[in-house]
């Protein structure tokens, strides 16, 4: 049976607006000490927003980490670690797409951890149906294009490498498996 390493110390290296970076001092099962990087994240949520004709609303936005535009499900970080992910996903869908659904038409799909080797970011993904148009409410630093796609189009974009975002791929493929 594998023995669990023991964390001796966790030091905050950087306190950021989205993440906190830590240096962990770990004692390994054989007694050696090693240092691990750890990124703390308060979590996020995403939505698979399905229009009445079956098309799915997607957002295209610039991602600084990739220096590229990506096609993604509407999503965002929780305002606090206590905010329910349902509320986060519900809010972000309307803010980013300008569409909303009655709460009864939103259901949980899955939970995923984005990068288990060094980060605790957890994303809950929901499904929204029976959408109705409202108004986009973008943050000051957001520039987002919204477009609807069929599941077949999105599957092809995943398979040919146009869609590379993990939460988007997981959410879409889970939804596709339900169809």
Joined tokens for residue 139: 């943050």
Tell me, what DSSP letter sits at residue 103? G
| Whether the predicted pLDDT of 37 surpasses 90 | yes
pLDDT score for 60: 97
Q: Let me know: does 51 contact 60? Beta carbons within 8 Å.
A: no
Question: What's the start-to-end Cα distance of the chain, in Å?
Answer: 40
> Is it the case that residue 1 has pLDDT exceeding 90?
no
Cβ–Cβ < 8 Å for 19, 29: no
* Angle at alpha carbon of residue 25, lines to 19 and 27, rounded to 5°: 135
Domains detected in the chain: 6-40 (no CATH), 42-178 (3.90.79.10)
* Beta pairing partners, 57: 148
Convert the pLDDT of each residue in 47-101 to its tens digit: 999 999 999 999 999 999 999 999 999 999 999 889 999 999 999 999 999 999 9
The pTM is what? 0.92
How is residue 119 annotated by DSSP? Answer: B
Confidence band, pLDDT 50/70/90 cuts, at residue 113: very high
Please say whether the beta carbons of 143 and 103 come within 8 A: no
Cα–Cα distance measured from residue 13 to residue 29, given in angstroms and rounded to the nearest whole number: 25
């Amino acid at each position: 049976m594998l023995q669990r390493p023991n964390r001796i110390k966790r030091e905050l290296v950087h306190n950021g607006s989205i993440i906190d970076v830590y240096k962990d001092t770990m004692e390994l099962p054989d007694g050696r000490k090693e240092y691990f990087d750890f990124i703390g994240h308060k979590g996020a949520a995403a939505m698979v927003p399905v229009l009445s004709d079956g098309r799915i609303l997607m957002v295209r936005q610039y991602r600084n980490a990739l220096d590229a535009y990506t096609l993604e499900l509407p999503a965002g970080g929780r305002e606090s670690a206590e905010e329910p992910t349902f509320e986060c996903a519900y809010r972000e869908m309307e803010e980013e797409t300008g569409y909303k659904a009655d709460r009864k038409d939103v259901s949980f799909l899955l939970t995923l951890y984005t990068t288990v080797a060094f980060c605790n970011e957890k994303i809950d993904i929901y499904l929204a149906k029976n959408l109705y148009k409202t108004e986009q409410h973008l943050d000051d630093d957001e520039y987002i294009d919204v477009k609807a796609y069929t599941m077949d189009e999105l599957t092809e974009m995943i398979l040919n490498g146009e869609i590379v975002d993990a939460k988007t791929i997981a959410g879409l493929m889970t939804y596709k498996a339900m169809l």
